[in-house]
Amino acid sequence: MRVLVTGGAGFIGSHVVEVLAARGHEALVFDVREDPAADVRDPAAVRRALAGVDAVCHQAAMVGLGDGVADAAEYVSRNDLGTAVLLAAMAEAGIRRLVLAGSMVVYGEGRYTCVRHGVVRPGPRAVADLDAGRFEPACPACGDDLVPGLVGEDAPADPRNVYATTKLTQEHLAAAWARSTGGSAVSLRYHNVYGPGMPRDTPYAGVASFFRSALARGEAPRVFEDGRQRRDFVHVRDVAAAGAVALEAEAAPGLLTAYNTGSGDPHTVGEMARALAAAYGGPQPVVTGEYRLGDVRHITADSSRLRAETGWKPEVGFEEGMAEFARAGMRGAQAL
């Protein structure tokens, strides 16, 4: 299969290219890092790149939490306009297979259970609570403590920031393209991806990058809130393999299918920081009590649907992955 990988020179995209090549596919890189003219928002450039292509793995995006709404236009331009241009060109070229780099951020908070009210969905955390160090969301019906669990793909979307909103819009655009063309679209909702080649010292990187960059400077990782927020840290090679498997699998025409793409082994942010510091041999993490408005408390994946329907499974365990990441090289700062 001849696959165009947008963002193929980036952190995850470069690993996707490697995995596709190892599985016997021809991967073509379309990325502004390698060619300033390779902008996914440029219809002519995209049409040229799609010549002779069988499928597209769309990794190009502006990533991260964002800064309120100050950079909303840039996020929408790069993520949503870029996706719309790509899909229009795919429709024109008759390309009917798409794998999209989705994100767990479309859910907002994860799945919670109240002893009295069952499964509930807490709203955004109040600034007053965060300032007072009350980080756990409470039951919206009774105010009691909640028990976090795994979120499935059927959970309602609830994006909490500009970046999350653009990622959900990408899925809606891909679904509209699939219905219009009869194509098949798969969105892999990545959880917290980490591993070799992760960008360093950039506001757009994930928490694992922040911690690894601090250790490289000889500084203690700074853990926000109380460090007990739960995440699903999944290795970049496992995510790349999921992309290749999704491209190869039979997918329903005319539909977008979303799959959580996580390790299935949740850990707290504090646990991750301690494991990385121990593997690196650097200073122990410092829990700061600071917070970022727009962050969610707990979000962990139920990735059983992806495993059951494609045969994919993660291969890199948490301890092994953190030990490798502690020694691995990182990229220079990048926004895409």
| pLDDT tens series, the chain, 336 aa | 999 999 999 999 999 999 999 999 999 999 999 999 999 999 999 999 999 999 999 999 998 766 678 899 999 999 999 999 999 999 999 999 999 999 999 999 999 999 999 999 998 899 999 999 999 999 999 999 999 999 999 999 999 889 999 999 999 999 999 999 999 999 999 999 999 999 886 656 689 999 999 999 999 999 999 999 999 999 999 999 999 999 999 888 999 999 999 999 999 999 999 999 999 999 999 999 999 887 899 999 899 999 999 999 999 999 999 999 999 988 875 544
- State how far the alpha carbon of 38 is from the alpha carbons of 62, 167, 264, in Å: 15, 21, 35
Compute the distance between CA of residue 165 and CA of residue 156 in angstroms, rounded to an integer. Answer: 13
- 237 to each of 16, 25, 36, 240, 242, how far by Cα in Å? 8, 17, 27, 5, 9
Amino acid making up residue 176: A
* Number of DSSP helices (H) and strands (E) in the chain, helices first: 11, 15
Q: What per-residue confidence (pLDDT) applies to 67?
A: 63
**What is the rounded distance in angstroms from the CA atom of residue 251 to the CA atom of residue 163?**
27
pLDDT at 68: 78
How far apart CA 196 and CA 218 sit, in angstroms, is: 19
Q: In one letter, which amino acid is 150?
A: L
Concerning whether 163 is annotated as a catalytic residue, the answer is: yes
Dihedral of CA atoms 50, 35, 333, 263 in degrees, nearest 10, equals 20
Rounded Cα gap, residues 129 and 78, in angstroms:
34
Other residues' Cβ atoms within 10 Å of the Cβ of residue 77? 14
* Whole-structure pTM value: 0.94
Which residue is catalytic, options 112, 163, 194, 280? 163
Q: What is the reported pLDDT for 335?
A: 42
**Distance (Å, rounded) from C-alpha 323 to C-alpha 318?**
9
